[in-house]
């Protein structure tokens, strides 16, 4: 019954989306004003219905209703609660329903709260949003119905891929999806503003919180995904340039560029066309990401949905939306002027430079990800991996980070370089010192980590300089957000560079009682014992580790064996210190009865994820600051309008 | 008699099963999970292994993988490095055996040239874009003043 309700509600929501699209379009035509009033309520209603449908699916998974095909294929009655819940979106159909849900709910929220934008632009935006979600409704209802029943209930579910049975991963996809879909709202705003020729600061202000929100979620999603890969895959790697990782990185890069250019548009009324274009690109990258992940066209560790038919459906949607948006942009481009001008030395110029660099990285990642596909068309099977992405990405990333240190110190519109040269000298000196220290103390490390450490040190310092000379209590929250975000990126860069420059590895075959050492750490294998979890059994090693002869700590790496579905996974054990992390893995038993152990000492590696979280936190500060500002502005406007009305009345 | 049957059964089962499971059942090659004693050689091997693709898994280098085949390849790399072979010679040998797919480092072949050209083209485009933007910029600003 629940499944049928879920499906019926989903159909109703799709029908409302059709209505929303047509009502929106007629309202924009002359004489269609009568319909303008229904667009907002339709969007809200559509959001509610889809949310209901998604809750129905969650309920089916929590109850493990094995008469539903999707549940039987992806769940298991013995699974822990949290993974039953996560199982809802840990599969193709569920994740697409989640996508539509987030999209419709955001559309509803836009309809409820957005009051700054011109009414016709907002209606065009909601119509655009309905148009985009209709494609996904069609996809769900026609080719991936999550509520399909089995002719006969299955005796037991198939279970969830053991690699995915991890709390971190349970919330990784929804986090990214919120980010992807947030960009769809930005896209709809861009479309709406193009249709009504209303590209200006008001549009940028309306779009900005959505871009910021999406960007925060993407940042958290990427950081968490990287940490997940780090501790689950069991070899200490944290970024593989895997197509699926790239699929989440590309929207992030585009969103970062969009965020900055929307800020310029909102406060300076410049970069209009560029901002609209980035809005289209950012959502295209979300779609490309979904396409890469969902189609399984690029097989990867993550590709748990391999189905070419679905791939072509998403590809068709991609072509319609992005092609349509580009055509619209082409038609309207001449009505979108560039806006205010600025000189070569100005904050706008530094933001433009960094936007171009971000787009450069984006282009490299996109090309590198798709290149193996393209060469396969010519019959050549090649790999593009870290030896390409790292140095080529750095060509763009390092100048960008140098500019990040300088840009926020510049004034808007026009500035004099000599005004800030004394200020910039401080972080430049820090960079030079860091470079010198690395060259002297750690000779022979690679060029990229060396540059990374130097630039990271300079940027970590420079990111705080915009606060210089300000009254810290009266500094707007959004400035704090920028400072913290830029600082976070520097911290992450230092962590990554340090990991790649200074990690030490120890592979060893050990008997119980044997000692080993890795970096400054000495280890002893105390015991190996079997343990059991709710749906797995494991061998668990007990290892005592001591840093430079200090008090020992105990670690418990496991080798887990899952029963439903059968699979194995290593559960690495981590010990975090302020200056690095010990990473321990229990491997197989050799034929001589010794255990294959793997250890790494990774100096400062936690900074990588700490930095990622700081970046997200900076985004959050900026978001809160901007929203508070907007609310205040609205209140003031209301008050002014109220007083004016009263004066009129008194007259 | 009993022994003979056991022996035949054992032989048969080995003959039947081993080809199918050869990859997974054989003990891992000695250097798959053991480092070279010389840290310089090990670092050299590690650098090479990080740029070789594990063919069984996806998007992981052989330095990052539990797959038996990656273990065998690690053994190959380490023992050849220990024997004094040049890393690029080992890469060439592996490419000859498994194709370009095995190398993450792009090879100097016509099919890869566009990939190398890409960053240059992007930089060029960026330069043109920025130049156009700022050449027009001050001119207009002056006119406005």
Find residue B41's DSSP bridge partners: none
Q: Average pLDDT for residues A313-332, to the nearest whole number? A: 86
Separation in Å, CA of A564 to nearest CA in chain B = 21
For B64, nearest residue in chain A (alpha carbons): A235
Cis omega (within 30 of 0) on the bond before A565?
yes
Separation in Å, CA of A337 to nearest CA in chain B = 13
The larger pLDDT score, comparing residue A269 to residue A307, is at: A269
Q: Average pLDDT for residues A404-422, to the nearest whole number? A: 88
Question: B59, A301 in Cβ contact below 8 A?
Answer: yes
pLDDT at A563: 78
In this structure, the number of other CB atoms found within 10 A of the CB of residue A129 comes to 30
pLDDT at B7: 53
A59-118 pLDDT, tens digit per residue, is 999 988 888 888 888 888 878 888 888 888 878 888 889 989 999 999 999 999 888 888
Interface check B88 vs A, CB under 8 A? no
| Cα gap A420→A409, rounded to integer Å | 7
Separation in Å, CA of A160 to nearest CA in chain B = 19
pLDDT-above-70 percentage for chain B = 71
Which chain B residues touch A243 with a CB distance below 8 Å? 59
Separation in Å, CA of B4 to nearest CA in chain A = 26
Q: Average pLDDT for residues B47-55, to the nearest whole number? A: 89
Q: Average pLDDT for residues A238-250, to the nearest whole number? A: 90
Which chain B residues touch A381 with a CB distance below 8 Å? 99-101
The larger pLDDT score, comparing residue A638 to residue A308, is at: A638
CB contact under 8 A, A367 and B115: yes
| Cα gap A449→A538, rounded to integer Å | 37
pLDDT at A297: 64
Considering only CB atoms, B134 lies closest to which of A303, A344, A357, namely: A344
Mutation target for A interface from B119, B121, B123: give the one with most A CBs within 10 A: B119
Kindly report the three-state secondary structure assignment for every residue of B52-110: EECCCCCCCEHHHCCCHHHHHHHHHHHHHHHCCCCHHHHHHHHHHHHCHHHECCCCCCH
Q: Supply the Cα-derived Rg of chain B in whole angstroms.
A: 27
A110-162 pLDDT, tens digit per residue, is 999 888 888 888 999 999 999 999 998 998 898 888 898 888 888 888 777 77
pLDDT at A301: 41
Residues in chain B: 145
Which chain B residues touch A384 with a CB distance below 8 Å? 104, 106, 115
Q: Is the dihedral of CA A344, A348, A353, A359 positive or negative?
A: negative
Kindly report the three-state secondary structure assignment for every residue of A209-241: HHHHHHHHHHHHHHHHHHHHHHHHCCCCCCCCC
Find residue A546's DSSP bridge partners: A522
C-alpha pair distances (Å), A18 with each of A104, A454, B1: 13, 55, 81
Separation in Å, CA of B2 to nearest CA in chain A = 28
pLDDT at B21: 43
pLDDT at A305: 44
Q: Is residue B20 very low, low, confident or very high in pLDDT (cuts 50, 70, 90)?
A: very low
pLDDT at A435: 93
ipTM for the predicted complex: 0.79
For B136, nearest residue in chain A (alpha carbons): A341
Q: Is the pLDDT of residue A388 over 60?
A: yes
Q: Is residue B3 very low, low, confident or very high in pLDDT (cuts 50, 70, 90)?
A: low
Q: Average pLDDT for residues B77-82, to the nearest whole number? A: 92
Which chain B residues touch A507 with a CB distance below 8 Å? 33-35
pLDDT at B135: 60
Question: A269, A339 in Cβ contact below 8 A?
Answer: yes
Which chain A residues touch B58 with a CB distance below 8 Å? 242, 299-301, 303
Across chain A, mean pLDDT equals: 88
Across chain B, mean pLDDT equals: 77
Q: Nearest 5°: phi and psi at A636?
A: -60, -45
Q: Where in chain A are the domains?
A: 1-160, 404-502, 505-604
Contacts 24+ apart (CB under 8 A), A361-364: A361/A253, A361/A393, A361/A396, A361/A397, A361/A400, A362/A250, A362/A253, A362/A254, A362/A257, A362/A281, A362/A285, A363/B118, A363/B122, A364/A389, A364/A392, A364/A393, A364/A396, A364/B118, A364/B119, A364/B122
pLDDT at B13: 47
Half-sphere exposure in the Cβ direction for A435 (13 Å, CA): 13
For A245, nearest residue in chain B (alpha carbons): B59
Question: A94, A57 in Cβ contact below 8 A?
Answer: yes
pTM score, two decimals?
0.90
Q: Is residue B26 very low, low, confident or very high in pLDDT (cuts 50, 70, 90)?
A: low
Interface check B110 vs A, CB under 8 A? no
For A502, nearest residue in chain B (alpha carbons): B43
Which H/E stretch holds residue A394? helix A386-406
Q: Is the pLDDT of residue A346 over 80?
A: yes
């Amino acid at each position: 019954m629940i499944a049928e309700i879920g499906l019926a509600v989903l159909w109703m929501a799709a029908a409302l989306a059709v209505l929303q699209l047509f009502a929106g379009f007629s309202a924009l035509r002359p004489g269609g004003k009568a319909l303008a009033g229904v667009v907002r309520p339709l969007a809200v209603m559509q959001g509610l219905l889809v949310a209901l449908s998604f809750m129905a699916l969650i309920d089916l998974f929590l109850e493990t209703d094995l008469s539903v095909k999707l549940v039987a294929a992806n769940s298991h009655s013995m699974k822990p609660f949290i993974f039953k819940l996560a199982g809802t979106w840990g599969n193709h159909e569920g994740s697409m329903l989640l996508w539509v849900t987030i999209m419709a709910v955001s559309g509803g929220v836009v309809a409820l709260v957005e009051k700054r934008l011109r009414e016709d632009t907002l209606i065009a935006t909601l119509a655009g949003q309905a148009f985009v979600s209709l494609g996904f409704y069609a996809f769900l209802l026609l080719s991936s119905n999550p509520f399909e029943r089995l002719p006969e209930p299955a005796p037991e579910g198939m279970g969830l891929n053991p690699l995915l049975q991890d709390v971190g991963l349970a919330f990784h996809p929804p986090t990214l999806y919120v980010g992807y879909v947030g960009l769809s709202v930005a896209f709809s705003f861009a479309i709406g503003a193009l249709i009504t020729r209303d590209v200006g600061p008001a549009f940028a202000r309306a779009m900005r919180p959505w871009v910021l929100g999406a960007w925060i979620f993407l940042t958290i999603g990427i950081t968490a995904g990287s940490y997940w890969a780090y501790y689950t895959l069991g070899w200490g790697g944290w970024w593989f340039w895997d197509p699926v990782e790239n699929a989440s990185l590309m929207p992030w890069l585009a969103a970062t560029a969009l965020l900055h250019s929307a800020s310029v548009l909102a406060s300076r009324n410049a970069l209009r066309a560029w901002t609209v274009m980035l809005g289209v690109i950012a959502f295209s990258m979300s779609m490309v990401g979904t396409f890469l992940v969902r189609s399984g066209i690029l097989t990867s560790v993550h590709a748990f949905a391999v189905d070419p038919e679905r791939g072509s459906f998403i590809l068709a949607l991609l072509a319609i939306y992005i092609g349509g948006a580009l055509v619209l942009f082409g038609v309207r481009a001449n009505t979108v002027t560039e806006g205010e001008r600025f000189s070569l030395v100005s904050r706008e110029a530094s933001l433009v430079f960094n936007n171009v660099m971000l787009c450069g990285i984006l282009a490299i990642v996109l090309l590198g990800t798709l290149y193996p596909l393209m060469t396969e068309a010519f019959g050549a099977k090649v790999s593009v991996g870290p030896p390409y992405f790292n140095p080529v990405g750095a060509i763009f990333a390092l100048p960008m980070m140098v500019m990040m240190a300088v840009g926020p110190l510049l004034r808007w519109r026009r500035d004099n370089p000599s005004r800030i040269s004394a200020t910039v000298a401080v972080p430049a000196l820090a960079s030079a010192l860091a470079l010198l220290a690395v060259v002297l103390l750690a000779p022979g490390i690679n060029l990229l980590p060396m540059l990374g450490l130097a630039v990271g040190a300079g940027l970590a310092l420079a990111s705080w300089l915009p606060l210089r000379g300000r009254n810290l209590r009266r500094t707007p929250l959004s400035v704090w957000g920028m400072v913290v975000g830029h600082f976070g990126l520097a911290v992450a860069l230092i962590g990554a560079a340090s990991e790649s420059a200074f990690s030490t590895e120890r592979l060893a075959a050990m008997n119980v009682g044997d000692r080993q050492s890795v970096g400054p750490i000495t280890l002893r294998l105390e015991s190996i014992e079997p343990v059991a979890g709710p749906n797995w059994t494991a061998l668990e090693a007990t290892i005592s580790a001591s840093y430079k002869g200090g008090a020992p700590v105990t670690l418990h790496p496991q080798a887990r064996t899952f029963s439903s579905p059968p699979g194995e996974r290593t559960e690495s054990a981590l010990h975090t210190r302020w200056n690095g992390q010990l990473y321990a893995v229990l491997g197989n038993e050799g034929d001589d009865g010794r255990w294959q152990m793997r250890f790494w000492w990774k100096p400062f590696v936690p900074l990588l994820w700490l930095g990622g979280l700081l970046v997200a936190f900076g985004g959050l500060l900026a978001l809160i600051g901007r929203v508070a500002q907007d609310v205040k502005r609205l209140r003031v406007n209301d008050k002014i309008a109220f007083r004016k009305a009263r004066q009129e009345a008194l007259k | 008699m009993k022994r003979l049957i056991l022996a035949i059964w054992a032989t048969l089962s080995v003959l039947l099963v081993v080809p199918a499971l050869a990859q997974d059942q054989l003990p891992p090659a000695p250097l798959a999970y053991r480092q070279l004693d010389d840290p310089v050689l090990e670092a050299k091997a590690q650098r090479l292994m990080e740029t070789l693709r594990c063919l069984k898994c996806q998007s992981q280098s052989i330095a990052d993988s539990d797959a038996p085949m990656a273990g065998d390849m690690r053994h190959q790399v380490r023992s050849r490095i220990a024997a004094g072979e040049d890393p690029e010679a080992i890469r060439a040998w592996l490419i000859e055996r498994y194709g370009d797919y095995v190398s993450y480092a792009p090879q100097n072949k016509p099919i890869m040239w566009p990939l190398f050209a890409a960053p240059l083209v992007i930089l060029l485009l960026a330069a043109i874009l920025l130049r156009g933007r700022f050449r027009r910029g001050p001119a207009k600003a002056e006119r406005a003043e």
